[in-house]
Amino acid sequence: MRSVVYAFIFLVISVSTSVADYNRSKDWFYDLEWPERIRVQHLLVFTGDYVAIVDGAFGKHTYNALTSFQKHRDFQQDGVLASNQMQVLERDGLDLVNRLGFEIRKDAAAGLSLGIPVKLFEPPSPTRRGSRWRAYDGSIELETLAVPHDETAYGDLFKRLSKSRQGRTIDYKKLRNDFFVVSGEQDGRDFYLRVMKTSGDSRGFSLAWESKHAVFMDRVAVAMSNSLDYYDGGTDAPLETVTSTPGLQPQSLEENGNLPAASGPDVTTQEPAELSTGSGYFVTAQGHIGTNAHVAGNCASLEVPGHGPARLVRADPVNDLAVIQLAGAHAESFARFRANQPIARGEQVFVLGYPFAQIFDSNLNFTLGTVSSLAGVKGDIRHFMISAPVQPGNSGGPVLDRTGALIGTVVSRLDKIKTLQLAGDFPENINFAIRGQLMSTFMESLGLAPSYNTITSIKTPTRIDEEAARYTVQILCRN
C-alpha cells in the first residue's frame, strides 16, 4: 500500500510539473512576435522535431517539438528556449537548409511556389502538368502538377491518390476542404504528396525518395509541405529563385534586405559589395594573425572587427595558410603552439571561430570534439580529422588541445552534397585541420618567431575558452 501511495504522489508531482512546464512554454512562445514563432517552428522542422503545420500557434505539437529539441541536445526539457538554446536551434536548423540549398521557387507551369532542395537536383524539365526535378542518380524525384477540376474533381483526385494497390501502400492520409496530404511507399520508395484546392484546379507536388535518404528527406517533405503557396504569375513566367524558406530569412537584415555579412568564404553577399568572413588567431604581440589562404589571400581589403584594418603579409595557397597583420601592429594576447608532442588519435580538442556570420553576427563559437584521424582526404598527412562541428566561417580558426596549446588551424569540412552523391548519405562531424607545425614553419619563413606553450597541466574547457577568446578573431574580406 505504501508503494502505491508513493507512486500516486510521484504521479501527481510529475503531472503538475508537466502542466507547469507546458504553461510556461506557452507563455514564452506567445511572448515572441508572430514572425519569430513561425521561424521557430520552421527551424524545428529542419531539426526533425516538428511534424505539423507551421502556423505560429502553440499546442501539443509545438510543445513536444521544443522539449524534443532540448532532449536531443541535453538541455533542460521545459519547452522554454534560452538565448543559447535559440542559437543552437538556428545553427542546427539552418545547417540542413544550407546543405540542401533549400530555396523558394516559383513554378509558373503549375501555378505555385514552394521550397525546393535545389542542391539535390539536376535542372528541372517541363511536364504536361508542371515541372519535374530529379537527383543525378534518380534516387530522389519531385514533380509539381496542376489538375483542372473539369478533368478530375478535387475529391476524386484524393480518392485516386490515397488508394492502396499493388506496389503502393498508404501510411497516412488527410483530407480537408482546402488541401489534402498522402504519404506512404510505392515500388520500394517513400513518397509524400500535398495538393491544394483552388477555384478551378488542384495544385501541388509529389516527392519520392529511396529509403537511404529518409534521415533528411522526411524533414524536407514536411518543410516543402509548409512552404507550398499559390503563384498566379502567368504560364509564360520563368522559374526563378525568390528567397529562402518562409520564416527562415537570416536575422539582422539591413533595410534593403541584404545580409550584413556572409557566413564563410564559400558564401558571399553580392550587393552592394562582395563580403566573406572567416576566423583567425593572433600569433605575435605585433598583431600578426594566422588564418587560411582561402580566407584572406585574395581580398581587396581586410578588416578584423574590434581591432581595425589589416594587411596581407603572405599567403601560402599550397598549404592553405596565410598571415595578416593589424594596421595597429599590436596584440595583447596570442596563441602558443604545442611543442614536440605529436597529435594523438582520440585526444580531446577545442575549436573556436565565427560560424554563420549572417546569423550570429560577431559571436564567438566554442565547440569540442576529438581527433578522429591523423590524416586528411586521401591520406594527406598535412591535415588531421576532428569531430568538433565546423561551419562556414570557422575556416582559419584555432584548434587547441587540453592544455590550451595550438595544434592546428581549421581548414575545411567534408563536402556533404558531394559525399551524398558518392556515398548516398550525409557525413557527420568529418572536419579537417592543418597541423600546427605547418603554421609555425610558415611563420619562421616570414621571419616571425612562434611562441610555444610550456604548460603541461590540463585546463578546464571554460578556462581554455576564456583564454582563447582573447586571441581568436573574425576576419572580413571585401572585394
pLDDT digits (tens, 9 = 90+) for 58-116: 889 999 999 999 998 899 999 999 999 999 999 888 888 888 888 888 888 898 989 99
- Residue-wise pLDDT for 408-464, tens only, equals 999 864 444 343 344 344 444 568 899 999 999 999 999 999 999 987 889 999 999
**Residue 271: partners with Cβ closer than 8 Å, 6 or more residues away:** 258
**Residue 177: partners with Cβ closer than 8 Å, 6 or more residues away:** 197
- Residue-wise pLDDT for 170-212, tens only, equals 999 988 888 899 999 999 999 999 998 888 899 999 999 998 8
Whether residue 202 contacts residue 149, with contact meaning beta carbons closer than 8 Å, is answered with yes
Round to whole Å and give the CA distance between 141 and 22: 39
Mean local confidence (pLDDT), 15-42 = 83
Mean local confidence (pLDDT), 152-168 = 92
| Whole-number pLDDT of residue 157 | 94
Whether residue 356 contacts residue 394, with contact meaning beta carbons closer than 8 Å, is answered with no
- Residue 14 pLDDT exceeds 80: no
pTM over 0.75: no
Pick 121 or 471 by higher pLDDT: 471
Closest C-alpha to 244, from 112, 355, 116: 116
- Residue-wise pLDDT for 261-299, tens only, equals 323 333 333 334 477 889 999 999 999 999 999 899 889
The alpha-carbon radius of gyration of the chain (Å, integer) is 26
- Asked whether the bond before 272 is cis by omega within 30 degrees of 0, the reply is yes
Query: Sign (positive/negative) of CA torsion 31, 33, 37, 42?
Result: negative
| Whole-number pLDDT of residue 138 | 87
C-alpha cell read off for 302: 581586410
Tell me the longest C-alpha to C-alpha distance in the chain: 81
**Residue 350: partners with Cβ closer than 8 Å, 6 or more residues away:** 366, 367, 368, 388, 399, 400, 401, 402, 461, 464, 465, 468
| Whole-number pLDDT of residue 10 | 43
Pick 378 or 147 by higher pLDDT: 147
- Residue 469 pLDDT exceeds 60: yes
Q: Give CA separation, 476 vs 268, 298, 305, 459, 470, in Å.
A: 11, 12, 8, 31, 18
Other beta carbons within 10 Å of 427? 14
First to last CA, the chain: 77
- Residue-wise pLDDT for 46-57, tens only, equals 999 998 888 888
Per-residue pLDDT band for 379 (boundaries 50, 70, 90) equals confident
Per-residue pLDDT band for 19 (boundaries 50, 70, 90) equals confident
Pick 161 or 424 by higher pLDDT: 161
Closest C-alpha to 291, from 157, 422, 474, 432: 474
- Residue-wise pLDDT for 218-230, tens only, equals 999 999 998 888 8
Other beta carbons within 10 Å of 78? 18
| Whole-number pLDDT of residue 83 | 92
SS3 (DSSP) at 436: helix
**Which domains does the chain show, CATH number per domain?**
2-98 (1.10.101.10), 101-244 (3.40.1000.10), 261-479 (2.40.10.120)
Per-residue pLDDT band for 8 (boundaries 50, 70, 90) equals very low
Whether residue 189 contacts residue 209, with contact meaning beta carbons closer than 8 Å, is answered with yes
Mean local confidence (pLDDT), 380-400 = 86
